[in-house]
Chain A
């Protein structure tokens, strides 16, 4: 025993302290085991709970890209709007607040109640696409269970002028028509999401990881020039109204690059307000509708003839009394012209002349040029729903078919195809793909006819607009113009309708170094006049004159170049 601390001396058995020690150690052991269990072995549950308290996955929406014209003028822009949605189970609303809500939403109180009650879902839209200012007022009402969701609405400043070209998106922002549909993937981008940590005040304090990287929609620059498009639409609309036509289309191409500078159709619609939209108005007729081109095809027949070496522009063809009997059918010219040169066949648009030229060639020679300029194949402009047109294999052509095809009957194509085909005359016999997007590099062109043939046909097409030709009204002050009229009976079921016509004119200018191709098509003009030279040529003339001025193209003719035939001269009418 220790004598220095007698008071503390207690006689304890040794096992007690040992027991205590063991128990304490056991206690620690249990704690450590629990800690290991929670931290190491079974931490998923706790981790999840922790994440749920401060971790959030937030969605990052991608803005849809703009569509602009070639000069970056916006034609379709997305701007944010708010959609009001409710979670019906949580909604707690007083009668007075309901009144104010229904006024802000411009919805009947009964209708709101019906939507809240009628749905078993926990998500119901009350109103979509409200302007942000109006939505802010709804937030101020502070109604539990009603929230906002940011969405984007597409606006089209070009309204009906660009409607067919650009199309529109649905309420969820997906491309539905035209270029909005064709370039949807590029424009839409991809929404992303990322995991973040939020603090007590709801501020994002840390970016943990990005789950999906968002991809903003890319802008799309079209080849279209907004000024020319507007001009083309206005002139076309004017003509369609004056001639009381059923429909009309116009295509303006850059003769050097194949870019589409304007493409308009009537009837049109306003893409910003599509309440009552008739499907017939949404069709881009210039690309999706076929028509029989009529005489505008004669230059291709003549080009094939010149290429064959059998004909020269001054070769004389006997059209005789204006009748040509082939088997059981007869090709007519209403005005017998007797002997015509090849150039005059184009200038006066003689059917008999064109048919005779065609019949002296092998069908394959004609088919070859027709198919090389793209008849019967899609123009691959990237526009959805474009048609390929009908061009049958030459092996199945009967002579009468070969003769009628020479002047554009028995085959069909779209206005865009026709405009593109004229690239071979406007250029030096080469054709390139048409494009609706702005080109950064020059296009790849392929030769169809020799430069010499192209020049010869160009001279003939210039004669068409001069006195003695079918379209003196296509002339433009200060510029040399070349072009061809077309007037065709419309197919009505299986036969041609006697009093329904398609009037067209297609041409280019300045003829010395063509810059633009303009193709005009007027469907069923109903005010008396129906010749291409009277209905479509004036539209060509005013659009071409305006576009050349807008582009600052140097005139290639003196200012007194317009020579109209004397008023008492008989009008040169083409054969229909």
Chain B
């Protein structure tokens, strides 16, 4: 009886210690997760800013100004445009 009790006590102590260790590990991993999530959020913000930048550079008015002013481009007259219908509709 006493031996069984001693054994159970040892198991109990082992369990208690492993609870502590795993709790500690969980917290460490959670800190990691937090860091990664912060990075993800940061990247999302950056993505938004880049999108904003892209759409500002690619504004139609700006493109048109550069195309017609600096690059001397013109819209082709209708006579020089040929519309090709997609295969499926023919």
Task: List A residues at the B interface (Cβ < 8 Å).
Answer: 63, 66, 73-74, 77-80, 155, 157-159, 161, 199, 203-207, 226-227, 230-231, 234, 477-478, 545-546, 549, 552-555, 559
Contacts and interface: CB of A to CB of B under 8 A. Distances in A.
B83 A555 contact: yes
Given A161-B61, A226-B60, A203 B34 contact: yes
B51 interface: yes
A545 B81 CA distance: 12
A554 B83 contact: yes
Contacts of A552: 83
B61 A234 contact: yes
B78 interface: yes
- Greatest chain A CB density within 10 A among B30, B60, B61 is at B60
A161 B26 CA distance: 52
B60 A230 contact: yes
A77 B52 contact: yes
Majority secondary structure of chain B interface residues (helix, strand, loop or mixed): helix
Contacts of A79: 45, 48-49, 52
Contacts of A161: 60-61
Contacts of B55: 73-74, 77, 157
Majority secondary structure of chain A interface residues (helix, strand, loop or mixed): mixed
Interface of B: 26-27, 30-31, 34, 44-45, 48-49, 51-52, 55-56, 59-61, 75, 77-79, 81, 83, 85
Given A74-B52, A78-B48, A227-B60, A559 B31 contact: no
Nearest to B80: A559
Contacts of B79: 477, 559
Given A157-B52, A207-B30, A227-B60, 6 more contacts: A80-B45, A203-B31, A204-B34, A205-B27, A477-B77, A478-B78
Contacts of A63: 44
B1 to A, nearest CB: 27
Nearest to A75: B55
A206 B83 contact: no
Contacts of B77: 477
A174 B27 CA distance: 38
A165 to B, nearest CB: 15
Contacts of A74: 51-52, 55
A559 B60 contact: no
Contacts of A158: 59
8 contacts: A73-B55, A74-B55, A78-B48, A155-B52, A157-B55, A159-B59, A204-B30, A554-B85
B48 A77 contact: yes
Contacts of A73: 55
B59 A157 contact: yes
B72 to A, nearest CB: 19
- Greatest chain A CB density within 10 A among B26, B30, B49, B55 is at B55
Contacts of B48: 66, 77-79
A161 B61 CA distance: 9
A461 B48 CA distance: 47
A205 B56 contact: no
B62 to A, nearest CB: 11
A549 B81 contact: yes
Contacts of B78: 477-478, 545, 555, 559
A77 B51 CA distance: 8
A161 B63 CA distance: 14
Contact of A206 (B30, B51, B56, B85): B30
Nearest to A207: B30
A63 B47 CA distance: 13
Contacts of A231: 60
Contacts of B45: 79-80
Nearest to A546: B75
Nearest to B27: A205
Contacts of A199: 27
Nearest to B77: A477
A157 B56 contact: yes
Contacts of B26: 206
Contacts of A477: 77-79
Nearest to B76: A549
Contacts of A80: 45
B81 A206 contact: no
Nearest to B82: A555
Nearest to A545: B78
Nearest to B29: A205
Contacts of B30: 204-207
A475 to B, nearest CB: 11
A478 B44 CA distance: 46
Contacts of B34: 203-204
A570 to B, nearest CB: 29
B30 to A, nearest CB: 6
Nearest to B55: A157
Nearest to B23: A206
A4 to B, nearest CB: 31
Nearest to B34: A204
Contacts of B31: 203-205
B68 to A, nearest CB: 12
A205 B23 CA distance: 10
Contacts of A555: 78, 83
A230 B49 contact: no
